[in-house]
Amino acid sequence: MSYGALAVQSRRRILDTLRAADGPTGVSELVTVTGLHANTVRFHLEVLVEAGFVSSGPGPRRGRGRPHTVYRSVTPPAPSTGYQFLSQVLAAQLDDRGAGELAEQAGRSWLRGDGRSAAPGADPVGVATARALALFTELGFEPERAADSATVQIDLHACPFLEVAQRHPDVVCAMHRGLLREVVEAAAPGLAAELIPFARPGVCVARLTPTEKGPVRS
């Protein structure tokens, strides 16, 4: 497969159109969507077929004569980064195995190995809140403590793993829940931590709630 086939912007537009289509698509439909000349579309399709991105075959008959040729994409769009590709592959494998608990444990284990689950301070709830905010800030979530919440609530506005999390929430969100619980429980053992994925459009919510024997909220 030659990735040089995607060096032309109009050719990528044709491939994107085929990927978004409900089924095999003919030249005339591609002309309508892309605004390109039919000969240009045919030329780009030949390149994409030869490079392995697209397949061609006969379409349904339209009266007499030979059936017209239709095209379909045979490759998925590549993720924007190698890390995104890796996360999608691993999350899909874990998701197939129902490994939400394993993903949560992985988040906990990473924090323990990184030394971030340090001992409680003089103000356990305040320390737990500050450490949770620091952790999710570093991860790129743009966290913000909700001022009017009855418990400690942290709104997470910008999940950097949103695309993967939407596809595999049982894995990605479970890992983030493990991170949250590990950092909170290490600082304030009497504090229960919960992560609510997609609590509002574009926002996940972390809540820290004192248990019956837990500390008073700071």
pLDDT tens per residue across span 24-81: 999 999 999 999 999 999 999 999 998 888 999 988 776 666 778 999 988 766 655 5
Dihedral angle sign, alpha carbons of residues 160, 166, 170, 171: negative
pLDDT tens per residue across span 97-116: 657 787 888 888 877 765 55
**pLDDT at position 218:** 46
Find the mean pLDDT for residues 80-93. 61
Q: Which two tokens stand for residue 74?
A: 């045979």
**How far is residue 140's CA from residue 52's CA, in Å, rounded to a whole number?**
37
CATH number of the domain residue 178 falls in: 3.30.1380.20
Find the mean pLDDT for residues 107-132. 73
Domain match, 137 and 198 both: yes
Domain match, 36 and 134 both: no
Task: Report DSSP state, residue 99.
Answer: -
Q: How many CB atoms lie within 10 A of CB 81?
A: 9
Domain match, 188 and 104 both: yes
Does residue 2 register a pLDDT over 60?
no
Domain end call among 47, 73, 99: 73
**How far is residue 67's CA from residue 53's CA, in Å, rounded to a whole number?**
22
Domain end call among 44, 73, 102: 73
Non-local CB neighbours of 44 within 8 Å, separated by 6+ positions? 8, 10, 11, 14, 36
**pLDDT at position 7:** 78
| Residue with more model confidence, 171 or 212 | 171
**How far is residue 46's CA from residue 42's CA, in Å, rounded to a whole number?**
6
Domain match, 14 and 58 both: yes
Domain match, 28 and 106 both: no
- pTM: predicted TM-score of the whole model, two decimal places: 0.57
Assigned domain for 110 exists: yes
